[in-house]
Each structure stands twice: as C-alpha cells, then as structure tokens.
Amino acid sequence: MSVSTAIKQRVTKLREEINHHNYLYYVQDAPEIPDSEYDRLLRELQQLEQQHPELIVPESPTQRVGATPLSEFAEVRHRVPMLSLNNAFEAQEVEDFDRRARDRLAVKEIVYTAEPKLDGLAISLLYEDGVLVRGATRGDGATGEDVTQNVRTIDSIPLKLVGRNFPRVLEVRGEVIMTKSGFEKLNQTQRDKDEKTFANPRNAAAGSLRQLDSRITAARPLSFYAYAVGVAEDGELAKTQFQLLAQLRQWGLRTNPEIKRVKGVRGCLDYYHAIAEKRNRLDYDIDGVVYKVDELAQQAQLGFVSRAPRWAVAHKFAAQEEMTKLVAIEVQVGRTGALTPVARLEPVFVGGVTVTNATLHNQDEIERKDIRIGDTVIVRRAGDVIPEVVSAVVSRRPKGTKKFVMPDKCPVCGSEVIRLENEAVARCTGGLFCAAQRKQAIKHFAARRAMDIEGLGDKLVEQLVDQDMIHDVADLYKLSVAELAEMERMGEKSAQNIVDALEKSKATTLPRFLFALGIRQVGETTARTLAQHFGNLDAIMHASEAGLEAVQDVGPVVAESIAHFFHEPHNRKVIQKLRHAGVHWPDIEVSPAQELPLAGKTFVITGTLESMSRDEAKEKLEQLGGKVSGSVSKKTDYVIVGESPGSKAAKAEALGVAMLDEQAFLKLLGHS
C-alpha cells in the first residue's frame, strides 16, 4: 500500500521541526518550546515511521537509538592527521610561542582565537551532502576507530546539517565530553546497581564512546563541541578560525560559548586568567586553554613542526591529580546518619589548593580500589567538589599497611551501625539521639505531616541546637516562653505561639508519631500500615523482624530498619521522655486488613474538596483500608473529583474509571 503525499509531507515537516529545535537547544542555547512539546513531536514522528517503515532514513531524529552490538571496531585512516598540540605551563612559554609566530610571519601583533581545552575524547565527524556518515576516534593521530553507531546516539551531534552552503564533504573535529552533573548521576546509577564507578568524567566519556554495544553509549550523558575542520570539499570556508566556528554553528554544530578572539600575548594571558577563575563554575572539566592563530592563511604559512602545528599551543592549568600518603582513615557521620570514611592525607598541593582530607565514599569503594592506611594514593580535585582518593599506587605500597574496617558503633553517639541489604552506605541507628543527626531529626519531627508543630521552622531549629538548648526531640517540650523570647528575632508573642503549638502537638495519632520518629524506610503509608496492624506502639517496638514482615508491604529491608531502630536503647530512652512529656495518642482497634470496608480498593483524589483537605481525605481512606495513588490507571477503582480537577479526571473518564463527586465520597465514608 503506497504512502499518501500528506503523510510524506508530515514526516518531512516533523523532521525539519525537530532538527530546528535541536539546533536551538544545543547550539543556540535558546529553546523556544517546552520539553513536553518536543517529546510530542518526536512521538508523532516515531509513530508515523512505525506505521510506514519505508519512510525511515538514517538521518531521521528517531534513529539515535543504539544498534546491534559490534564484535570489534573497524579501523579508520584520517585523510588529514589529527595532530596533538605542544603544551605551555608558564606565561613565559606562551610569550615564547607568540614571539616565534610573529617572527615567522614578520608582524608586530597576532590575533588569536582562544578557547577552553576540554578534557574529553577527540573525535572526527564526516558529513557527505550534509548527512553524518562516519564518526571516528583520534587514535594515534593517523589511524582511529570507527565509532559511527556510538556518535549517532549523542543528541548534540546533528545527524544532518542545517542551513545551506556547507561543503559537499565536511570533516568536523571536536571533543566528546561528559558534564560534571551527568558524571555524578552516572556514578550514582552505577552504585545503585552495585557496578563499577568511573574515576572521572574524561574516563567515563572515553569508556562510553568505545562501547561495542551502542545501546550502552546511548544511555550515557555525552555531549559534543566542535573546534576545527579537517577536510572540506566543494564548498567555501571562512577565512579565520573565529568565523569558521561561527560557520559551524550556522550548520547546526555546537561550539563552546567561552570561545573568544583576543589580541596578542596579553590578550591570551588575560583570557587564561579569566577562564581559570571561572573554571570551577563550568559544568565540564577543562585542563587549560588553547590559543590558535586566527587567520587561516597565517596558519598555513606557519605550518607544522614534528607532530604539532606551529600556529597553536595549549596553555595547561596546574595539575588536579597528585600523589601523597594516606596517613589515616576517619569516619564522619552525616545529618541522615550515613557514615562516610574520610582520608587524612599528608598535605599536597592539587589544583591550586593544599589538600589534607579527601572522601573515600564508602567501604565498598575502599575495597574495590584496594586502598589501605599507609598507602601512597592519587588524589583528585575537581573544582569545588570535595577532593577524592582516586586509587592507591600499589607499586609503592610499604610493609605494614592496614585495611580499613567500618566501625560497628557510631563514632559520635555510640549507637549500633547497620548496613541494609542493597545499600552501599552504613548508617547510625540512633536517629533520635545522635548529635550528628540532631537538626535533621528535629526538623522532620516538627514537620506538618509529622507532629505538625506550627512555627517551629528550620532556622529556629538551627538556633536551638547551635545554642545547645535542645539535645533531642523530647527537649522541645521543656522549652519555656521566657527561653524562646530571648532568642534572635523572637518576641514574647511568637514565643507563646510556639509553646502553644508544642502543647497542641502532644495530642497526636499513632501513625503520625511513628512517621515523626524518622525511621529509615518508614514513610507515612508504612507508618499507617504498622499502626493498623499492631494497634499500639509497644507492640511495634517489641515486634521481631519476622513479625514486622507479616505486615502488608513491609519487606525484609524495611523490617530490619524498624527492628534496629527500636532495638537501640538511645532511641527507646527518647521515646520514653516524649511520653513523660505528655505526648499521647489513642490506640487503634486492630482489625484484619481484609475486614476493613475499603480493603483492596485504590483511590485517586483530584481537585479541591470543600469539607476537608486532600491530606485528610487520604487519611480517612487509609484508615478504612483503602490505598491512595497519585496517578490514574486501569487498576484505579475510584477517582474522587473536587473543584477544578486536573487531567486525572479526563484520564479516568477515558479509561472508564468510576468517579465520585464530594457528596458521593462523603456518602461512601459514612456507609463505610
């Protein structure tokens, strides 16, 4: 069956629109539509191509997905070698480079194009008639590897050039990098999957681009910046390096926004200092700047020496990786109870600062890297990020080094330390008592969905702890109006309001109290389920892990977390103090879950209810055994519709899900 002209035209139009928005997003950094609209256009194109596969072309925006894995990379010989640059480390070396270039050109001053030296992987992109036909690594400069399938997955590399008047054959050169933010997300994903993490963004980018399975590359956050042209046939190029980069941008290729045209050696050095000052704020790693003679005719006149051009030089920054000795490993406790091993180092100058401490992340990372106390280690510093120990220099390992073992007691409060299944982080179980967790515990305890202590905001909690007025959540109930009134920005009326709010909060419910304790893995829903299953706090506190696992939706990890929390004497002592202070709640009459009137029913609430808040409606439904979800699906039993409902009501109608107005909802609660 032939494809209609209208469909062909629509497919062409969609591709043009998507390519236009890619250009605005990646090259101009000026998107004009939201991501949701871009996704809609791409989905429509995907659907049309699925229905009419004969319309699919390699340069379609839908064809970025990874292809069948390769057995090996093919070899690519560069028509024009991809040469390396000579390095300069001192201002004098830059002055010498400029002097030699001026002497050869017989000019008094040279205009340069200056750009950041990206710390990634050099790549060559070959376009024929505007369509990407090959991507290759630099390799040894003469020969690289064909990574076409992989570069096609990188969103900032156009599969088809935009604009007009580009050469029939155009080889573009640039750098594939991974941003710092993308690198952190990738490593977190690797840790979550208990897989090997990457040492730095450059290694991650290089490893991602050299995957035989391009589907792996497609899942990695890679970016591309163009900085040169290797080959151009049947087309006009600009006369200067700066204009050439502008030309590449017009054709849809991304170039670095920090690139500038500067005059003479003074302009070069001023640029170097400006970029060095800005370096830590950039979302990508750079290891220096590059100066290139701007006029391409002058570049040709200067030519090459050995394996490097005479018309360019890389002005490198101070090293950001250095070696030193790991003297000791200490453990810090974070605000959520996480224990982090920290390396104490012999002072070493890295990236412009003296480093004496560096993170080791966790026990698994120490073991994976085989880092021992007494080792010579490589320390990396990247911007404002906490320095980290990258690896041990095993060849320099002396006798008598010691392996690190995570303590089984919290170094701050002495509470038991546990590590839950599938978690890399060890944690202190003394959440209500530990001084390291004090501020976080109190803020959570006072929150609206917990004890709902009105007026006790984060800043006031910070002041109370910093001034040593409270040591745990129970101490809140000892505060007097006189004490509070003396605090900064706190009058007698405000102090009285907080004392009244504290008094009011004493009358609570068991689910709220359980949630307020801040037990890891126990959110509002789990707290309610525990309360309904056991009926009273003592039964929960004395329940075994097996008994806790009998509760609906409580698995082994959650059960272990609850059991360890209540097993810790420090936590039990604080709970006892809270009860003595007058915090109370009614016990719940225990009914088997299946006997609750709304057991097994799933509800979604949308819009504003007049008779109660959505939180109150959720609480009432859960008390009757119902489950409240945030999204509508075929498994939803009822959607409760208030005033000004959102898209959930429309989706419920489309799926044929029963909808209740507020009157019908109240009637349901009354009957139940």
User: Distance between CA atoms of 516 and 472, rounded to whole angstroms?
Assistant: 13
Q: How many CB atoms lie within 10 A of CB 356?
A: 14
Query: What pLDDT is recorded for position 540?
Result: 94
Q: How many CB atoms lie within 10 A of CB 610?
A: 8
| Beta-carbon contacts of residue 583 (< 8 Å; ≥ 6 apart) | 477, 505, 506, 508, 513
Segment 505-528 shows an average pLDDT of: 94
HSE-CB at 597 with a 13 A cutoff on CA atoms is 9
| Beta-carbon contacts of residue 409 (< 8 Å; ≥ 6 apart) | 415, 416, 417
Can you list the domains of the chain with their CATH numbers?
5-55 (1.10.287.610), 87-316 (3.30.470.30), 321-396 (2.40.50.140), 412-590 (1.10.150.20), 593-671 (3.40.50.10190)
Q: Express each pLDDT in 467-487 by its tens digit.
A: 999 999 999 999 999 999 998
Angle at 453 between CA 439 and CA 530, to 5 degrees: 85
Query: What pLDDT is recorded for position 318?
Result: 72
Q: Express each pLDDT in 114-135 by its tens digit.
A: 999 998 899 999 999 999 999 9
Query: What pLDDT is recorded for position 473?
Result: 96
Query: What pLDDT is recorded for position 385?
Result: 60
Write out the catalytic residue numbers.
Answer: 117
pTM strictly above 0.85: no
Query: What pLDDT is recorded for position 35?
Result: 66
Lowest mean pLDDT among 82-96, 532-546, 581-595: 581-595
**Per-residue pLDDT at 582 exceeds 90:** yes
Q: Express each pLDDT in 371-421 by its tens digit.
A: 999 999 999 876 556 788 988 998 889 999 999 999 999 999 999 999 988
Q: Please, is 206 exposed, middle or buried when counting C-beta atoms within 10 Å of its C-beta (0-12, 13-18, 19+)?
A: middle
Q: Which SS3 state, helix, strand or coil, does residue 618 take?
A: helix
Question: How far is it between the farthest Cα atoms of the chain?
Answer: 97
Q: Express each pLDDT in 429-466 by its tens digit.
A: 999 999 999 999 999 999 999 999 999 998 999 999 99
Q: How many CB atoms lie within 10 A of CB 116?
A: 24
Q: Express each pLDDT in 284-327 by its tens digit.
A: 989 899 999 999 999 999 998 867 899 999 998 876 788 899 99
Give how far Cα 653 sits from Cα of 537, 626, 631, 632, Å.
42, 21, 13, 10
User: Distance between CA atoms of 172 and 130, rounded to whole angstroms?
Assistant: 12
User: Distance between CA atoms of 608 and 645, rounded to whole angstroms?
Assistant: 7
Residue 613 DSSP symbol: -
| Beta-carbon contacts of residue 326 (< 8 Å; ≥ 6 apart) | 343, 344, 345, 371, 372, 373, 374, 375, 376, 377, 389, 392
Confidence bin at 209 (pLDDT 50/70/90): confident
Lowest mean pLDDT among 182-186, 270-274, 502-506: 182-186
Q: Express each pLDDT in 427-436 by its tens digit.
A: 999 999 999 9
Query: What pLDDT is recorded for position 274?
Result: 95
Confidence bin at 65 (pLDDT 50/70/90): low
Give how far Cα 45 sits from Cα of 25, 190, 364, 632, Å.
19, 32, 45, 27
Residue 427 amino acid letter: R
**Per-residue pLDDT at 70 exceeds 70:** no
User: Distance between CA atoms of 338 and 417, rounded to whole angstroms?
Assistant: 9
**Per-residue pLDDT at 495 exceeds 80:** yes
DSSP states along 81-147: ------EE-SHHHHHHHHHHHHHHHT-S--EEEEEEEE-SEEEEEEEETTEEEEEEE-TTSSEEEB-
Residue 507 DSSP symbol: B
